[in-house]
Structure 1
Amino acid sequence: MASRSRRQLAADAWGALLQTHAALVPELDRSLRSHSGLPLAWYDVLLELSAADDGRLRMSELAQRAVLSRTRISRVVDELVRAGLVAKEPNPVDARSSFAVITTEGRQRFEASAPHYVGQIEKRFASGLTDDELRTIARALRRAQTHSITPSPNNG
């Protein structure tokens, strides 16, 4: 049997990543909504704001960090503002931008839902993998991410 080419291996790995993501995201969203009332998109924004030094990020920074499309981030932040979990503040240095700021209620809801979210990742993703496999996956994906955002010498 002929060995698989690097392109075939890359396509297989990419396909497995996409299929796993496509299968797990709806499950995590349903579970999180059922447990805490937070949609996964809200949780993602609250996660990024919670991780920020002062609980605030410029909308452009939030769009870069969140696992949401840039076009969706404004809509999701507006939903969070209506729910009282995030506030929007004008940027005093640049009137064209604003900050998204996690509120006390937003932080409380995030912290209350985080153990469930992490538990669901363990149950639905990690439970069939060894610790070594999890380390390998994390290391490989971080390396792929770093490589993908660094221009190669061949494509400028």
Structure 2
Amino acid sequence: METSEHRWLNDTEMRAWAGFLETYQLLHRLVDRQLRDDGEVTQVQYEILTRLNESPGRRLRMTELADRMVCSRSGLTYQVTQLEKAGLLWRQTDAQDERGVLAILTDAGRQVLDRTAPGHLATVRGGFLDVLTEEQIAQLADIFDTARAHLGGIDGLCYGTTAGAKRPAGPPE
């Protein structure tokens, strides 16, 4: 029953929402298990290493890294500290702006990516993409682009974005 206060989900909407949640949780567990087994890193840590690897000089300012991630600045700092303790990256004051700190991928971090990337790709494909048609994948990409753009526009919700869209910079580090 729909009232002016609540717009309940219909059966199809509930199936879509519940399916999204369960699929996300199962896929996240599968990917996380593979990354821990192959590289002893979590999914968030793998994303940090990947973003550094894809950046010029394999380095990014912490604020820029946070803007590219969907995690809080304090959460990012914690993960970067764990990766630094493991020798997979290191931090250094930005010579061009002493207020900034750079996160820099180490050779050991690059080796973790080299070791985990093939299994990661196989896990994402085998656990998700290969069971869909090209048309379904294109539809999902469009759906998630729309949802991400909407959610990214909600003040205070996003700390960054995984799609590379420009987000306002946060406070200085």
Q: TM-score range by the shorter chain?
A: 0.7 to 0.9
Deviation digits for residues 101-154 of structure 1, max 9, x if unmatched? 111221121122111101101111123211211111012211221233347xxx
Change (3 A) 1:55 1:11: farther
| Aligned partner (choices 9, 15, 20) of residue 17 of structure 1 | 20
1:115 aligned partner, one-letter code: P
Deviation digits for residues 57-89 of structure 1, max 9, x if unmatched? 111111122243332111111111111110101
Q: Secondary structure at the match of 1:54?
A: helix
Deviation digits for residues 28-47 of structure 1, max 9, x if unmatched? 11122112222222211101
Q: What is the count of residue pairs matched by the alignment?
A: 147
Identity %: 29
Q: What TM-score comes out, normalization by structure 2 length?
A: 0.73
Question: Residues 57 and 100 of structure 1 are in contact (CA less than 8 Å); yes or no, is this contact kept in structure 2?
Answer: yes
Q: Which residue of 2 aligns with 1:36?
A: 39
Separation in 1 of the partners of 2:75 and 2:149? 24
Question: Residues 57 and 101 of structure 1 are in contact (CA less than 8 Å); yes or no, is this contact kept in structure 2?
Answer: yes
Matched, 1:125 2:128: yes
Q: Which has the higher contact order (CA 8 A, sep 6+)?
A: 2
Separation in 2 of the partners of 1:14 and 1:44? 25
Q: Secondary structure at the match of 1:84?
A: coil
- What is the CA-CA distance between 1:6 and the residue it aligns to? 10
Greater mean deviation of Cα atoms: 72-81 or 22-31: 22-31
Separation in 2 of the partners of 1:17 and 1:61? 29
| Aligned partner (choices 132, 142, 148) of residue 145 of structure 1 | 148
Separation in 2 of the partners of 1:136 and 1:71? 34
Unaligned runs of 5+ in 1: 152-156
| Aligned partner (choices 56, 71, 74) of residue 71 of structure 1 | 74
Q: Which residue of 1 aligns with 2:83?
A: 80
Q: Which residue of 2 aligns with 1:56?
A: 59
Question: Residues 38 and 115 of structure 2 are in contact (CA less than 8 Å); yes or no, is this contact kept in structure 1?
Answer: no
Higher helix share: 1
Change (3 A) 1:111 1:71: same
Unaligned runs of 5+ in 2: 1-6, 155-173
The alignment yields a C-alpha RMSD, in angstroms, of 2.4
